[in-house]
Amino acid sequence: MKKSIGIREMIFPDPVMIVGTYGEDGRANAAAFAWGGTASADPAALSVAVRPSRYTYENIMLRKAFTVSLPSPEYVDECDYFGIVSGRDVDKFEKTGLTPVKGEFVDAPYVGEFPVNIECEVSHVLDLGAHTLFIGEVRDVKVDEGLAGDIKGLWQSSRILTYDSHALSYLLPGEEIAKAFSCGLRFK
Amino acid sequence: MKKSIGIREMIFPDPVMIVGTYGEDGRANAAAFAWGGTASADPAALSVAVRPSRYTYENIMLRKAFTVSLPSPEYVDECDYFGIVSGRDVDKFEKTGLTPVKGEFVDAPYVGEFPVNIECEVSHVLDLGAHTLFIGEVRDVKVDEGLAGDIKGLWQSSRILTYDSHALSYLLPGEEIAKAFSCGLRFK
């Protein structure tokens, strides 16, 4: 039997996206977002949902660029901090000791220590009410050198974090139980 | 050291979203999509990226409605099958024996056996090139009755699948390593 639990956001899993931007004063900022995902293959694009009250919103609107850095487990405390305080009040890179690296292709900084960094230019801005959905066209992806040789195994080897927005938990990637375009063939 | 791996889609993790639609002939269809995510809190909305060549695209454009059903591990083969064949050629519900249930609030069917079902009405259609991003405003969420009492624990107890689009693997939810709005407080 099914039970209605009403109208609510309800996708699992969410990514842990650390969005890097520059402020009007040129100061690097990083903030945590869990809502969004891949948006298109060509041009490669992703989405991230940002409340207009956020400092990151202001910064993205100003420079039409941002980065997304994806964290490995050793940085979970830093990620969480990036989601707790506002870059209006504090220099989060300074506080955590992490390194803002100027994007090579876009006017935004990424987190140098995180294993995956995606440089994006804003292609669309979609006002959806509580959140604005930014579509970022990917201009480059950088990964730790040791990971570049095995893109297929990258998520498991770097153990990129997952977010559970109902439990408010950070999760490791789980066990692989099946291969796509394979296990379903039995119904053909 | 960082190494550029070029322009590509690069978000991890992706959800396993089984999108339910009706065809022009009224036949229920289900298809697998991994690109998208939560898009806004109010009104609650999600995104799903669909290639215009897909049967699902045609169906969504026709009725401006779809559902997203999220699968537990025992249905991984069915999910995979939903992504392998086209509803133009075959009745996927019939082949898998799963049950299409007419949405209560939208003109689209959901997968009765899956633990979470989200009914959506299309609010925005964004042409991004290879993919069109549909924004679905949530009209209702239904879950298996046994799960409704503990929304916070729902993802872990129902073990909703995660997709790794580089390894082409289905994953279980991983271990919780930290709580949000908590572990980062040490930097304050």
Q: What is the per-residue pLDDT across A26-49, written as a single tens digit (0 to 9) for each?
A: 999 999 999 999 999 999 999 999
Quickly state the pLDDT bin for A96 (edges 50, 70, 90).
Answer: very high
Which domain, by its residues, includes B72? 14-187
Residue A6 belongs to some domain of the structure = no
Gap between the Cα atoms of B119 and B73, Å rounded: 21
Q: For Cα atoms A101, A45, A159, give the angle at the middle one, nearest 5 degrees.
A: 60
| B-interface mutation test, from A1, A14, A35, A40, most B Cβ less than 10 A away | A40
Query: What separation in angstroms does the CA of B18 have from each of B31, B72, B88?
Result: 5, 11, 16
Which tens digit of pLDDT belongs to each residue from B43-82?
A: 999 999 999 999 999 999 999 999 999 999 999 999 999 9
Residues 6+ apart with CB under 8 A from B51: B57, B130, B131, B132
Give the pLDDT score at A24. 96
Residue B7 belongs to some domain of the structure = no
Q: What CATH code is carried by the domain that includes residue A96?
A: 2.30.110.10
The total number of structural domains in chain B stands at 1
Smallest CA–CA separation between B60 and chain A, in Å? 17
Answer yes or no: do B5 and A141 touch at CB < 8 A.
yes
Residues 6+ apart with CB under 8 A from A93: A28, A29, A30, A99, A100
Q: Which residues of B23-39 are buried (b: 16+ CB within 10 A; e: fewer)?
A: beeebbbbbbbbbbbbb
Contacts of B95 in chain A (CB under 8 A): 187
- Burial level of A26, CB count in 10 A (0-12/13-18/19+)? exposed
Which tens digit of pLDDT belongs to each residue from A120-155?
A: 999 999 999 999 999 999 999 999 999 999 989 988
Q: For a pLDDT cut of 70, what percent of chain A falls above it?
A: 100
Q: What residue has token string 């609510």?
A: A8
pTM of the shown model: 0.97
Between A142, A172, A182, which is nearest B3 by CB?
A142
Between A7, A145, A184, which is nearest B138 by CB?
A7
Low-confidence ranges of chain B (pLDDT < 70): none
Answer yes or no: do B77 and A41 touch at CB < 8 A.
no
Residue A27 belongs to some domain of the structure = yes
Answer yes or no: do A129 and B40 touch at CB < 8 A.
yes
Between B82, B164, B180, which is nearest A155 by CB?
B164
Residue A79 belongs to some domain of the structure = yes
Give the pLDDT score at A132. 98
Residue B60 belongs to some domain of the structure = yes
Smallest CA–CA separation between B153 and chain A, in Å? 6
Judge contact between B80 and B30, C-beta under 8 A: no
Q: What residue has token string 């107890």?
A: B157
Query: What separation in angstroms does the CA of A185 have from each of A177, B40, B126, B180?
Result: 15, 36, 32, 39
Q: Which helix (H) or strand (E) holds B95?
A: helix B92-96
Contacts of A163 in chain B (CB under 8 A): 180
Residue A1 belongs to some domain of the structure = no
Smallest CA–CA separation between B108 and chain A, in Å? 16
| Mean pLDDT across chain A | 96
ipTM of the modeled complex: 0.97
Q: HEC states along chain A?
A: CEEEEECCCCCCCEECEEEEEECCCCCEEEEEECCEEEEEECCEEEEEEECCCCHHHHHHHHHCEEEEEECCHHHHHHHHHHHHCCCCCCCHHHHHCCCEEECCCCCCEEECCCCEEEEEEEEEEEECCCCEEEEEEEEEEEEEHHHCCCCCCHHHHHCCCEEECCCCEEEEEEEEEEECCCHHHHHC
Q: Where on the phi/psi map is residue B23: left (φ > 0), alpha (ψ -120 to 50), or beta? A: beta
Contacts of A131 in chain B (CB under 8 A): 39-41
Residue A151 belongs to some domain of the structure = yes
Residue B4 belongs to some domain of the structure = no
Answer yes or no: do B39 and A38 touch at CB < 8 A.
no
Answer yes or no: do A167 and B176 touch at CB < 8 A.
yes
Answer yes or no: do A80 and B180 touch at CB < 8 A.
yes
Contacts of B4 in chain A (CB under 8 A): 104, 140-142
Answer yes or no: do A2 and B145 touch at CB < 8 A.
yes
Query: What separation in angstroms does the CA of A117 have from each of A27, A72, A161, B73, B106?
Result: 19, 12, 14, 31, 39
Which tens digit of pLDDT belongs to each residue from A45-91?
A: 999 999 999 999 999 999 999 999 999 999 999 999 999 999 999 99
